[in-house]
Amino acid sequence: MGLKQWFEASKIPSDRVTELDWWNETLISFGPSSEQPSSSSKELSPDAALNLKVAFTPAQHRSGRGLMDHMKTLWGSWCVGVVDQGDIKKAEQRGMKEWSGFKMFFGG
């Protein structure tokens, strides 16, 4: 949170930027390789080549590099779950429990 303006100033389209608070989630569908990923907080595409659920999790880090920008943005880590076809309806609910083809990755 707090960096959307920076991404837009860097020529990244607004519809490609999703700001999340800690523990918020978003869903992303990737179509055929020639298509751009679509970000949605509500629906996944059963026809997509890849569906992901991304959760923004807390990290032990303080944001800011200068004297006046301390704690102006939210620093965190990512939990990314690959959503199999059988889990599409479950992925629309909060959390990642009881997915049939559970694959999760973590980055910080």
Structure tokens at 107: 């980055």
HSE of 7 in the Cβ direction (CA atoms, 13 Å)?
Answer: 12
Task: For the chain, 108 residues long, give each residue's pLDDT as a single digit of tens.
Answer: 778 888 999 999 988 888 888 889 999 888 765 556 665 556 788 888 888 888 888 876 666 666 666 666 667 888 888 888 888 888 888 877 777 666 777 665
Dist CA 31 CA 29 (whole Å): 6
Nearest alpha-carbon partner for 44 in 57, 56, 53, 34: 53
Structure tokens at 12: 């990244």
Q: What is the pTM of this model?
A: 0.71
